[in-house]
Chain A
């Protein structure tokens, strides 16, 4: 099990590798979701390589592992990449992404990929799934932590608010939800499509502890997670981190661009993107 003191240089490097590999996968498949994969790369890297999420690549069902539910199942390239980098399978395998017979489905599949806890893709389910894991951990008197990464757009699904209500009601203080607040969904901006702001106020009104941070600042992420564990223990409330992110983060022409929600990069796009990412090392 990995629980090293966070080495932020390594966490940063891994985040870049997640981004680069995600784009290679989408390019090879000629389909996929680059924008939302790039926006959560830093969050995933901090969880897996910053010592927050206990995981065991040799036994994906290790009873001592923590749980991460990725509710935005379309960010599958980033998820498959981080699991490969964490040692669950060789990274070269991920190049079969979205091909017939591949375990690397368009949206993440818990029955096919070791390390994926829940199959998601239909938006709005993941927080409920994570809540189930959190209740089970409470029943088992386990110290297990449960994380959920939610997209911001999916919060338009009513089920998310049923789940926010239920988590607070059952005081699942072992659950941290990280909201990838990139402010863009398929049709456009979240605020013009169906406004979510004031998001933190809404979460507070649902009896959650909240903190808004820069979701690309690795130290802020690390600190917010540590604060979440401490505060939730004190207040018995679940904790939501609103991570302000940039959709397409790390590749200039993809950043904040609605068009890159679900489009594959061309050969030239990929080349330019990989050069840019290499330059930020």
Chain B
């Protein structure tokens, strides 16, 4: 699995990596087509549109038609990548994803950007914190949340080769690069970034780099050994890796930029309840059932507690740390 490396100072948004990967993949794969709903500058599909105008379809501000059209294209043998903001691709068009795409097992990749609070200034109307719940509840839907630009690139290669419906959750904000070229993404596999003994932090998306940072602080300042697991493949879930880590550390925190109801935390909790009879301590760190608001992405993360510092605090509380 992927090598743990020091987070780079260079920051890249997963949507940017997505836009670049699309162009690269489409050079050798003639079946790739891209649909967007008037957001190609934001979702970064504009680069594909420029390079392959005949294979790019701007569908206007009409997400329902976009998703069902993609299902038709897929049934005709194309590999459609559908992009919009995650709010609209998974929320507005949920029923089309469910019935046109998933129920037909259409080979459509819903690659939606601007997920979560880190949309920032646009505020609650655009900050979807329910998309993981919406997508993972659809039978047969693969749900992936990449943690950085490199992982996004690898995810794109894998989902292009995979035959079936996939949701890839992408973000607006620039993130540290955690992985290098040796990193190997597999659907259904979690990735132990750092091994540890005292507590496991399991995270997806932007919270993976926060988890890496928290583990470093806990080690250096508090002499705690933290296992950090990147769960990019939310569904299918790597139950084995999750359970093995939990049995080792007995202390588990799951961190995600999503409502705590219906997100990765719920999936991990279910996997643990079904597979461990041992006593475990468990905590979900996410958005505690409230809508977001306008603000700078970094300020919002602090306000809602989605930071390395808060992970450190929660970890110490769980470990009954006495200073």
Give the B-binding residues of A (Cβ under 8 A). 67, 69, 109-111, 117-122, 124-125, 128-137, 139-140, 158-159, 162-163, 165-166, 169-170
Contact = CB atoms under 8 A, between A and B. Distances in A.
A170 B69 CA distance: 12
B75 A135 contact: no
A125 B75 contact: no
A170 B60 CA distance: 12
Nearest to A169: B60
A85 to B, nearest CB: 24
A142 B227 CA distance: 55
B66 to A, nearest CB: 8
A6 B62 CA distance: 39
Contact of B62 (A110, A140, A165): A165
Contacts of B104: 110-111, 118-119
Q: Which of A109, A125, A132, A137 has the most CB of B within 10 A?
A: A132
Contact of A118 (B57, B62, B75): B75
A140 B75 CA distance: 14
B69 A129 contact: yes
Interface in B85-105: 95-96, 99-100, 103-105
A243 to B, nearest CB: 22
A129 B80 CA distance: 13
Given A111-B104, A128-B96, 11 more contacts: A122-B99, A125-B71, A125-B99, A132-B71, A132-B72, A133-B72, A133-B75, A135-B57, A137-B76, A139-B78, A159-B68
B17 interface: no
B7 interface: no
Contacts of B71: 118, 125, 128-129, 132
B105 A69 contact: no
B58 to A, nearest CB: 9
Nearest to A122: B99
A112 B146 CA distance: 34
A136 B96 contact: no
B65 A117 contact: no
Nearest to B54: A139
Interface of B: 33, 54-55, 57, 59-60, 62, 64-65, 67-78, 80, 95-96, 99-100, 103-105
Nearest to B100: A125
A131 B64 contact: no
Contact of B68 (A125, A137, A140, A165): A125
Q: Classify the interface of chain A: helix, strand, loop or mixed.
A: helix
Contacts of A132: 68-76, 80
A137 B77 CA distance: 10
A135 B105 contact: no
B72 A166 contact: no
A139 B33 contact: yes
A111 B105 contact: yes
A-B CB proximity, top 9 nearest = A132-B72, A128-B68, A136-B76, A162-B65, A162-B62, A129-B72, A132-B73, A159-B64, A132-B69
11 contacts: A69-B72, A111-B104, A118-B100, A119-B104, A131-B65, A131-B69, A132-B68, A132-B70, A162-B65, A165-B65, A169-B60
Contacts of A162: 59-60, 62, 64-65
B99 A158 contact: no
A125 B103 CA distance: 12
Contacts of A169: 60
A46 to B, nearest CB: 23
Contacts of A137: 76
Contact of B95 (A122, A131, A139): A122
Contacts of B33: 135, 139
A159 B103 contact: no
Nearest to B62: A162
Contacts of A134: 72
B105 A133 contact: no
A67 B72 CA distance: 10
B69 A119 contact: no
Nearest to B105: A111
B209 to A, nearest CB: 38
B72 A130 contact: yes
Contacts of B77: 136
Nearest to A117: B75
A158 B92 CA distance: 12
Contacts of A165: 60, 62, 65
A69 B71 CA distance: 12
Contacts of A159: 62, 64-65, 68, 96
A121 B99 CA distance: 9
Contacts of B62: 159, 162, 165-166
A134 B74 CA distance: 12
Contacts of B78: 136, 139
A159 B67 CA distance: 10
B73 A166 contact: no
A165 B4 CA distance: 50
A117 B77 CA distance: 12
Nearest to A134: B72
B68 A129 contact: yes
A158 B93 CA distance: 12
Nearest to B96: A125
B254 to A, nearest CB: 34
Contact of A110 (B65, B69, B75): B75
